[in-house]
Amino acid sequence: MRFIFHSSLFCSLIVTSLIAIRYKTKHQVLRKKILKTVYQETSLVNFENIDLSKQDLLVSGPIKSSIKIHRSYPAPIKNSKKYLGWNIEGINLGHIVLNFGSSPKIKDHCYQINIWVYGNMNKAILYITLEDTLKNIHTLKVGSLKFRGWKKLTVVLPDHVNQQNLQINSQNEIRLIKLRVDPGPKSRFQPWQQFYIDDIIAITRPKYLLPDD
């Protein structure tokens, strides 16, 4: 009797798991379809014509850092020929901030932001800072750079980042303020950390507007 009970429970758990997996798969397929058909890519930053002298690189703590435009191995993006290289020397007692001289603006509703990054198994963490339509500042974690090669990192904008227009049919926007890197501990065998950043892209759709009377 106990064996039958456990067998039934086991079968029930298997069925429940299969249903959950099937639902998750359908949800993922639907999400990809919506992103492909409803949303579009909006370029925020590329490094083809950027003037680094107008970008503000700030360093806090016992860290040395420099940035430079490279051309030899861009990310696998159409028409990308230049990208930004970062060199960092130091320990995890500070961070590096790249303030954009002219903050890129996002006028449409933004679902997520993609950043192409080339990692060298760094222990650094990458963040972005946004200003929403209410002028509130939000720092969002993009991800760890502990991988090798080009990779598209993605951060989904949480609900507390306000994107609503402040008045009916007004056009308020959010702004990309800066990138921040927390370098992580210095390696005894790799005193310099180096990584690269290519295009920063917003995944957007038009905001819902009231029709004209």
* Whether 182 contacts 92, CB under 8 Å: yes
Query: Which of 13-17, 21-25, 200-204 shows the lowest per-residue confidence on average (mean pLDDT)?
Result: 21-25
Burial class (CB in 10 A: 0-12, 13-18, 19+), 205: middle
Residue 168, strand partner residues: none
At 137-158, the pLDDT tens digits run: 999 999 999 999 999 999 999 9
* Whether 201 contacts 42, CB under 8 Å: yes
- Cα distances (Å, whole numbers) of residue 27 to 20, 21, 31, 129, 159: 10, 10, 6, 29, 20
Q: Which CATH class is domain 41-205?
A: mainly beta
Residue appearing with tokens 């079968």: 11
pLDDT at 58: 81
pLDDT at 130: 96
pLDDT over threshold 90, residue 121 = no
* Whether 90 contacts 134, CB under 8 Å: no
What's the whole-model pTM score? 0.77
pLDDT over threshold 80, residue 48 = yes
CA-nearest of 143, 154, 159 to 109 is 159
Please report, for the chain, the start and end positions of each structural domain, with discontinuous segments joined by +: 1-37, 41-205
At 168-207, the pLDDT tens digits run: 666 789 999 999 998 876 655 566 788 999 999 999 998 7
